């Protein structure tokens, strides 16, 4: 297993996230070389002991392990494509957010270039890196993950999802999908109570513990979905789950109904198909498109 003192690490990309990841490595005592298109962003890191590379090629040549945290898939190719020869025989960990297909494409490019490759999906904002609650999802080379786990754990809890380099990005985007729909639900609720003089802050104080408690239902839904039988006893039925009252109250408050109407449509597609007595988890079938 690798220790702090026997590996040279290079970080390409020193935006808000890349500079935070690099700072954690410098703090932990890794010999860290950094590069950014706009070099001034390296100043703090250099002041704390990082070495600034003049070019991305210099950074790659300085590191056995190369970490890439750029804006997107296109910027990763912009930076790495000219460096395939320099990267050969090295290890690449790409924590740039991209689609699963894009991550698989970069992994295939890396394999062609003779580069060990791991995809990462960062489930944290920079202020969370290295603190409780920071989780980073990985897939791709198991050997790369196992060898560098102590380094990866500096950033957050590291979970490996298997050899498919697209799986970590898929998990990443699936978790973000859940988050954004939940955020929209919170904001819909805040908009409902606003005309009654309730501030968003007052609503947030009620909504946060309520929604946190409701996440306790995920495993019950999952058991039904994985079991493939939406008729099992003890579930709230789709008929009972009709959101008509919420839609009416939203209209009465003078706000858009589209957030709640989206869920109502998922419910009604199943009710209209004759599944009204089945449990709420059956909206999974609407989402899957069946
Ligand atoms: P920033 O916008 O702060 O930084 C983007 C970085 O990409 C900069 O270093 C920028 O260089 C570089 N860049 C963009 N285009 C090019 C290019 N064509 N050639 C060379 N360099 C380029 O983004 P973040 O650091 O916040 O995010 C980096 C990655 O981390 C993204 O994929 C993001 O989705 C992911 N991430 C970020 C989170 C966050 O909360 N910030 C959370 C989870 C994931 P320059 O400085 O010269 O512009």
Output the pLDDT for position 3: 52
Please choose, from the candidates 47, 54, 61, 55, the residue with its C-alpha nearest in 3D space to the C-alpha of residue 19.
47
Best of 59, 70, 135, 173 for a ligand 1 pocket test (most atoms within 8 Å of beta carbon): 70
Whose structure tokens read 């070495």? 51
Report the Cα–Cα distance between both ends of the chain, in Å, rounded: 48
Phi/psi of residue 272, each to 5°? Answer: -65, -25
Q: Name the DSSP class of 273.
A: I
Local structure of 48: helix, strand or coil: coil
The secondary structure element, H or E, covering residue 280 is: none
CB 83 within 8 A of CB 9: no
Per-residue pLDDT at 235: 87
pLDDT of 234 above 90: no
**Residues 253-270: pLDDT tens digits?**
999 999 999 999 999 999
Higher-scoring residue by pLDDT: 272, 234: 272
Ligand 1 center to 22 CA (angstroms): 13
Distance 150 CA to ligand 1 centre (A): 24
Atom 23 of ligand 1, nearest CA residue? 15
Q: Which atom of ligand 1 is nearest to the CA of 19?
A: 25
pLDDT in tens, 81-96: 999 999 999 999 999 9
**Count of beta carbons in the 10 Å neighbourhood of residue 173:** 14
User: Which residue from 13, 16, 19 is spatially nearest to 37, judged by alpha carbons?
Assistant: 13
Across 4-13, 58-67, 121-130, least confident range: 4-13
Please say whether the beta carbons of 61 and 86 come within 8 A.
Answer: yes
Question: Checking DSSP bridges between strand 91-94 and strand 135-140, what pairing results, if any?
Answer: unpaired
Mean pLDDT score across all residues of the chain = 96
Q: Which domains are present in the chain?
A: 8-164 (3.40.50.720), 199-287 (1.10.1040.10)
Cα-to-centroid distance, 133 and ligand 1 (Å): 21
pLDDT in tens, 112-140: 999 999 999 999 999 999 999 999 999 99
The predicted pLDDT at position 1 comes to 45
- For 142-193, the pLDDT digits (tens) are 999 999 999 999 999 999 999 999 999 999 999 999 999 999 999 999 999 9
What φ, ψ does residue 279 adopt, rounded to 5°? -75, 165
């Amino acid at each position: 297993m690798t220790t702090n003192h026997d590996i040279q690490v290079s970080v390409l990309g020193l935006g808000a996230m890349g500079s935070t990841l690099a700072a954690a490595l410098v703090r932990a005592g890794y010999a860290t070389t950094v590069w950014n298109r706009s070099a001034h962003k390296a100043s703090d890191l250099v002041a704390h002991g990082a070495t600034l590379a003049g070019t991305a090629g210099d950074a790659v040549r300085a590191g056995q392990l190369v970490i890439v945290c750029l804006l997107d898939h296109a910027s990763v190719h912009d930076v790495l494509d000219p460096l395939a020869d320099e990267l050969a025989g090295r290890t690449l960990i790409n924590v740039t957010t991209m689609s699963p297909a894009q991550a698989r494409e970069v992994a295939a490019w890396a394999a062609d270039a003779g580069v060990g490759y791991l995809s990462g999906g960062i489930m944290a904002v920079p202020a969370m890196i290295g603190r409780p609650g920071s989780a980073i999802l990985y897939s791709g080379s198991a050997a790369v993950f196992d060898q560098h786990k102590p380094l990866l754990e500096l950033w957050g809890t590291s979970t490996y999802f298997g050899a498919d380099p697209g799986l970590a990005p898929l998990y990443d985007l699936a978790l973000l999908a859940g988050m954004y729909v939940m955020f929209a639900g919170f904001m819909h609720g805040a908009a409902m109570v606003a005309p009654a003089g309730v501030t968003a802050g007052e609503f947030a104080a009620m909504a946060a513990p309520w929604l946190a408690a409701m996440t306790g239902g995920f495993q019950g839904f999952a058991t039904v979905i994985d079991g493939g039988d939406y008729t099992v006893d003890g579930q709230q039925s789709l008929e009972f789950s009709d959101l008509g009252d919420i839609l009416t109250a939203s209209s009465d408050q003078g706000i858009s109904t589209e957030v709640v109407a989206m869920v109502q449509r998922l419910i009604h597609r199943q009710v209209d198909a004759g599944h009204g007595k089945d449990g709420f988890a059956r909206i999974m079938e609407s989402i899957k498109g069946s």
